[in-house]
A and B are shown apart, each in its own frame.
Chain A
Amino acid sequence: MTIKKEPFYKTVGKEKEVFEHAYENRLPLLLKGPTGTGKSRFVEYMSYKLNKPLTTIACHEETSATDLLGRFIIKGAETVWIDGPLTKALKSGEILYMDEIAEARPDVIVAIHPLTDHRREIYLDKIGETVKAHPDFMFISSFNPGYQKGFKELKPSTRQRFISLSFDYPEPKLEEEILIGEAGINAGVAAKLVKIGNKIRNLTELGLTETVSTRLLVGAAKLIHSGLPKRLAVEVAVVEPLTDDPDILEALKDLSGLMI
């Protein structure tokens, strides 16, 4: 996918420089951080800036090497080999973004190892072929080290193959600007939403809820912008997605109601 319009991305730190230099040297990059902190958005933005097409693969428990590398399918009386998304991106020199790589099955990790060192290649065992990466190809993956939800750990041997960048919730000021930029709400409402977000994040820290991502706050901001009452918007876009525990739900609704 080639990104035509510049995505809205607020730079948080030195991530742009790091990305550019990693790309220069074709070093694989690992974006660490909780969900909704702008990792995907950042990759889209960089893909636009570098003018390189982007392929994103969202990994989950069932993602296997076959899904990524390719498989045979039956076509009439023939069996035909089809390249998987990884193989395609590799051959045509795209930026490949593997989201939540630790969630994938172990054979995926094994398959990408030769891709992340000096060899820059993959081995397709089913057709006995080695595919070298196109010179423009870059490999990026993301990983959520938050241990709360039971995310899988990434082995040190895998981690050490990547240049790593940490993502976290932006400072309040910056997060407010993101809400304003994304949803077009006024500064006062943005400040209140960010404050609610940060208070509930305290509970996440204590393990009582899922995390309030910038994404959730953006959602609430958009609903408010389109005219939904503020409290209701916060309830459905921020509080409800966090937990199913009725006590905690009620408390969070009341609490956010006292803040907006």
Chain B
Amino acid sequence: MEFDQLIFQKLFKLFSKKVENANQAFGVPLITITSKLTIFARALSGAPINIFASEREGGWQGNVFYLPKTVSLYNVAELNIQFYIFRLFYLCTQKSLNMNWPIGSGNSIEESQKEAIKQSEKILQKLFAEYPLIEPIYLELKNKLPFQSAKKGEKQSQDLTWLYGRWMKNVPSREKNNQIKNINTEAAKNQSINPKTVIEAQKADEVEILHVDKKAQEDYMLTNNFEKIDTVDEFDGVWRDFDGDDSLEEDLEALQEYNLKHMVRVDDPVHSVYQADYVNNASIAESVAIENNKFHLLYPEWDYKKRQYEYDYCKVFPKKLSGMDNEYFVKTMEQNRSLLVRLKKTFAQLNNKWEQSRRQISGDAIDIDAATDLFTDIKAHRTPDERIYTKKRKQAKELGLLFLLDLSLSSDAYANGNRIIDVEKQISILFGEVLNEYGIDFQIDGFYSKTRNNTAYITLKAFNEPWLKARTRIGAAEATGYTRIGPAIRHATSILEKNPNRKRWLILLSDGKPNDYDKYEGKHGVEDIKQSLREMRVKGINNFAFAIEEQAKFYLPQMFGENHYNILTSPVELLNSLTKLYDRIEHS
């Protein structure tokens, strides 16, 4: 769709909603309370629920709750908020009763709204039994729900769909063994994009899950072209094998991105970026390896449902980055000059603390315990141990850090006005400068994936490599592919295992959302990451994560645990984060 067309459509929608907008001034937009509602939903249901805006009344589907984009039904903001809260409790109860249309059924919106009203009694009953305090809220909301202007000869009525929503189709559970052949990520490859317009995706309820495979492609009539698809709703499962295999593959790729809905680019990347919500219902088939012949390592993946490993399940291709971008390095240094000075100061202070070592031959202070032992030994006519000093060491030769950068396409998005991958790269450069000055061992790697068969693990700076040589390389790393974190962590673990330092740390920089297009997302992804971190800890290696996105606080703690991550949307925040990280390192 052209941009002006889109604006037209939006305006049109606005005007056609006049009635509902009567109480606009007291209207409460969903986004102002999404984070609270998400916490409510997760606490009440115990499932990793996400909340999305819906076109109208909404409902639930899988682990997604759809709620109205704004609510202005009541002329007091408080009531509009209460409305959201009621709906949330209601949806939790409805979900716990598993009341929805069966998988694959096709019902019209009217039918779905009717069914919701019809079944509401049962849901309300359970809701009030379980949460009695919701009942008075409901009664007030129902009492004050505005009456619609009636058609001729009809009685005025309330639009109850607001209270009961509408039924949606249940989501099929994920199947394995759908394989797509010959996917390449040409389409996903990134050109540096400076978006001029950012258009929010239209709210699409009940996102369809599109299984894209050759078979389906043959089964459908070839009449349409993917570029014309604007919303998933509009996509009718029909596309055209346009000009040969290549383009189709690109389309598939784009379509997959569409399904995962991280960010979808329109055709001309220079003009606009299409932003869409994160849907975790989407599930896409697996692709077959493309690079089988190149050197790779096999790693297991954890299947939490079976509580067992799938051995040799993932292929990791270690690579060295050959590109170089000196300008990027210089620019980062220029832009962050004063930050770097402060970072070094902070680091110097922190560093002082844990360099104290005991039982030294000479040093700045006496170790009381050791001195006492010395006297005892002399009294007992034994040869005393003369190492009774504590000393500040010049070099902390006991710490090895591995920075792991998420280079997937989702890191090409913006958080707080900064491009995530830039924040990652700049942080690595700044850390690199500081660590290098203090003689601390560190490595900087990056990764991205295209299904389990292909995780690229790129070394930007190896432990034994001089920083001066490696630092110009950081800028050359670009965003591409998806985020299968598990295999990357396992490979990083094997690198850290070989590192001789006593304290070894993996530090992950990412936007905090694991996903790959072969179902590596949601609980499966999270559990695999948890498991890979567990493996790492058993080997005596610690971890910390920097999340370059606010929303990550809903994802990261699941994987890393409460005190093991920090949200960081710009390099400046590094100062505080560094302190937190050091606190962890000190106590490891």
Contacts and interface: CB of A to CB of B under 8 A. Distances in A.
Interface of A: 61, 66, 71-74, 78-79, 126, 147-150, 153, 199-200, 202-203, 205-210, 243, 245, 247-248, 250-252, 254-255, 258-259
Contact of A149 (B89, B553, B562): B562
A206 B558 contact: yes
Nearest to B33: A251
Contact of B48 (A72, A206, A245): A206
A258 B537 CA distance: 40
Contacts of A210: 562
A255 B537 contact: no
A54 B197 CA distance: 70
B209 to A, nearest CB: 24
Nearest to B49: A206
Contacts of A199: 43-44
B94 to A, nearest CB: 17
Contacts of A78: 379
B99 interface: no
Contacts of B369: 66, 71
A126 B39 CA distance: 55
A207 B559 contact: yes
B561 interface: yes
27 contacts: A72-B376, A126-B373, A147-B533, A147-B537, A147-B561, A150-B542, A153-B537, A199-B43, A200-B43, A202-B44, A205-B46, A206-B48, A207-B556, A207-B557, A207-B560, A207-B561, A207-B562, A208-B553, A208-B554, A208-B558, A247-B39, A250-B36, A252-B39, A252-B43, A254-B36, A258-B134, A259-B133
B9 to A, nearest CB: 34
Contacts of B559: 207
Interface string B340-369: 000000000000000000000000000001
Nearest to B587: A61
A206 B557 contact: yes
B561 A148 contact: yes
Q: Interface on chain A toward B: helix, strand, loop, or mixed SS?
A: mixed
Nearest to B81: A254
A252 B40 CA distance: 8
A165 to B, nearest CB: 22
A258 B379 contact: no
A207 B372 contact: no
A247 B37 CA distance: 11
A147 to B, nearest CB: 6
A203 B35 CA distance: 13
A74 B561 contact: no
B587 A79 contact: no
A203 B49 CA distance: 11
Contacts of B134: 258
Contact of A71 (B372, B379, B558): B372
B265 interface: no
A140 to B, nearest CB: 24
Contacts of B416: none
Interface bracket on B: 35 or more
Given A79-B379, A248-B39, 6 more contacts: A72-B375, A206-B48, A207-B556, A252-B39, A255-B39, A255-B44
Contacts of A206: 42, 48, 557-558
Contacts of A259: 131, 133
B45 A202 contact: yes
A15 B74 CA distance: 56
Contacts of A203: 39, 42-43
A15 B435 CA distance: 51
Contacts of A73: 372
Contacts of A202: 42-46
Contacts of A66: 369
A257 to B, nearest CB: 8
B85 interface: yes
A79 B35 contact: no
Given A150-B563, A258-B134, A251 B379 contact: no
Contacts of B542: 150
B561 A258 contact: no
Contacts of B537: 147, 153
In this complex, which of A78, A199, A210 has the most chain B Cβ atoms within 10 angstroms of its Cβ?
A: A199
A251 B537 CA distance: 32
B503 interface: no
B56 interface: no
Closest 7 CB pairs of A and B: A207-B557, A251-B39, A202-B46, A207-B558, A148-B561, A79-B376, A251-B36
A247 B134 CA distance: 22
With a 10 A CB-CB cut-off, give which of A61, A79, A210, A245 has the most chain B CB atoms.
Answer: A79
User: In this complex, which of B35, B43, B559, B563 has the most chain A Cβ atoms within 10 angstroms of its Cβ?
Assistant: B43
Specify which of B85, B134, B372, B530 lies most central, judged by the most chain A CB atoms within 10 Å of its CB.
Answer: B372
Q: Which interface residue of B39, B48, B559 has the most chain A CB atoms within 10 A?
A: B39
A206 B554 CA distance: 8
B356 to A, nearest CB: 13
A126 B370 CA distance: 11
B564 interface: yes
Nearest to A209: B562
B42 A79 contact: no
Contacts of A247: 35-36, 39, 553
A74 B40 CA distance: 59
A126 B553 CA distance: 49
A196 B303 CA distance: 31
Contacts of A251: 35-36, 39-40
A164 B562 CA distance: 27
B391 interface: no
Nearest to B559: A207
A115 B560 CA distance: 35
Given A61-B587, A149-B563, A245-B553, A74 B43 contact: no
Nearest to A156: B538
B534 interface: yes
B393 interface: no
A131 B45 CA distance: 55
Contacts of B44: 199, 202, 255
Interface string B127-156: 000010110000000000000000000000
A74 B366 CA distance: 15
Nearest to A260: B133
Contacts of B584: 150
Contacts of B379: 78-79
A73 B40 CA distance: 56
Contacts of B587: 61
Contacts of B43: 199-200, 202-203, 252, 255
With most chain B CB atoms within 10 A of its CB, the pick from A73, A248, A252 is: A248
Given A72-B376, A73-B372, A258-B134, A153 B45 contact: no
